[in-house]
Chain A
Amino acid sequence: MIIENVLLVSAALFAIGAYGVISRRSLVTVIMSLELMFNGVVIAAVAFSRFTPSAALISTNPLTSEAIRSSLTGHTFAIFVTAVAAGEAALAFALVFAMYRAVESVEITDASDMKN
């Protein structure tokens, strides 16, 4: 297990999500694909945290707990992204329900009331 392999998995998940976002018509599947893309990004952040030392870790001498903690920045980033993604999913579904009530459909092509 090296960083390249983990990043490759992350890129593959992101690309699959991107395919879903572009190719699907139902808003529900589009949101699912968006979540897949979020996960791909977070995997990359955790992989960097695991395999690459932070600048403080390379240069600080003697070792401080701050320097060690800075190597976990990726984990903190992952927590923040997860929190934002959870809020996004809840709000996105509220919007989907609102649209379903308004136009009785959840297809992206029907969400064109604001056009012209």
Chain B
Amino acid sequence: MEVSTLTTFVFWVASAMTLGLAVIVVTQRDVFRAAIALAGSFLGVGILYFVLNAEFVGVVQILVYVGAISVLMAFAVMFIQDVASGSRPSEGRLFAVVVSVLLFSAFAFTTYNSNWSSMDEITNPVALHALTDGYVELGTGDDISILKNRSPDLDGVVVENGGVLVDSTGAIGVMLIREYMLAFEIIGLLLVATLIGGLLLMRDRASENEPENGDAPA
């Protein structure tokens, strides 16, 4: 099987997995089963990222979503007894169907009626060769190395629709501390604020008012 055919096959399988499990998440009454389906759906999205040549984003997806957020969901389901009795649908079910169908058709209409810029627009011959026919590795400086047919398995394979094939992990690292330094710092600040906010919300106020045992004379 050719690599591009295999990629398309994996893409459709991962899409079906993601969307099917997502439907289970929003329709399942048993919240714990919904949480399990959600983890599977996140995994499907992770596979989609790998298919789209975004290895780093895929790994982050699996670490953060499949690893951390799913566990958080499972903990929430186990802590809250109320949830065990099931998640009831609200009255606005028909409204929800209408809204989501409208949203989807609007997105689909825009998608198929837009003129997406494609790799054909690249006029620079070096860039075209690098991005559609080879695999680009970026150094931390200005050095670029274009590896044509980086592995024997990919020999002679023309990438379908000529996508960007760049060594993304290193490039993202460089980008985070160069172009997006400020945003990176702000995200760090935001996460610290979230941590403190979460701790404040979860603090047990009842035990705070009791006198501490250590310094109270018996």
Contact = CB atoms under 8 A, between A and B. Distances in A.
B95 A8 contact: no
Contacts, number: 298
Contacts of A108: 90
Interface string B131-150: 10000101101111000000
B87 A9 contact: no
A15 B100 contact: yes
A4 B111 contact: yes
A97 B96 contact: no
A73 to B, nearest CB: 8
B76 A96 contact: yes
Give the interface SS of chain B, mostly helix, strand, loop or mixed. helix
Interface residues of A, number: 85
A94 B168 contact: no
A47 B52 contact: yes
Contacts of B119: 51, 53
B69 A89 contact: yes
Given A18-B99, A23-B90, A65-B143, A80 B25 contact: no
Interface in A67-82: 67-69, 71-73, 75-76, 78-80, 82
28 contacts: A7-B107, A12-B104, A15-B101, A15-B103, A17-B26, A19-B26, A22-B99, A24-B26, A25-B90, A26-B87, A32-B34, A39-B18, A39-B41, A42-B61, A47-B52, A53-B122, A57-B127, A57-B131, A58-B124, A61-B127, A65-B138, A68-B144, A68-B166, A73-B175, A86-B64, A89-B69, A97-B76, A98-B201
